[in-house]
Structures are given as structure tokens and as C-alpha cells.
């Protein structure tokens, strides 16, 4: 879709993306051999890096706005 989305819709999207990033960081962790215990790639695997980037980008969007409530 080309239409812009409303702020509440974006905030829900941002929260979902941040939650997914948290999930990726929880699942893709280093094991004792130095590899990811979930996908087996070397640490940090691409999934973990992607999760960290999602958190860095989406985790600090305001839930109620700067002047909210």
C-alpha cells in the first residue's frame, strides 16, 4: 500500500517490531562453543543482529506521545 499510516497504527507496528527484536535476542544466544544455540551460525548470528537493530530503531517510540495524557 502507498497510503501513509496513522500514528496509532505506526506505534502499534513499532511496538510489535520491538517485541520481535526482543524475541530474536532471547532465542539467538551464544552457546558454549561460541555459536548461536538456535541456528548454529557464529555469534552474533544475523538474526541476533537484526533483533538488536529492531530494538535500537523501534524500542523508544513514545507510547502516549511527548505531551500525552
Comparing CB distances to Zn ion, the nearer of 15 and 22 is 22
Nearest to 28 by CA among 18, 37, 16, 19: 37
Cα–Cα distance for residue pair 63/68, rounded to 1 Å: 9
Distance CA 15, CA 46 (A): 21
Taking CB under 5 A as the criterion, which residues in 18-37 touch Zn ion? Answer: 28, 36
Binding residue (CB under 5 A) for Zn ion from 14, 45, 54, 55? 45
Q: Is residue 39 at the binding interface for Zn ion, with CB under 5 A as the rule?
A: yes
**Distance of closest approach, residue 34 Cβ to Zn ion, in angstroms:** 12
Amino acid at each position: 500500500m502507498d497510503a501513509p499510516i496513522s500514528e496509532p497504527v505506526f506505534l502499534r507496528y513499532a511496538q510489535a517490531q520491538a517485541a520481535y527484536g526482543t524475541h530474536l535476542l532471547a532465542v539467538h544466544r551464544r552457546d558454549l562453543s561460541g555459536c548461536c544455540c538456535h541456528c548454529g551460525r557464529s555469534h552474533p548470528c544475523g538474526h541476533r543482529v537484526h533483533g538488536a537493530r529492531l530494538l535500537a530503531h523501534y524500542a523508544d517510540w513514545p507510547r502516549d506521545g511527548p505531551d500525552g495524557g
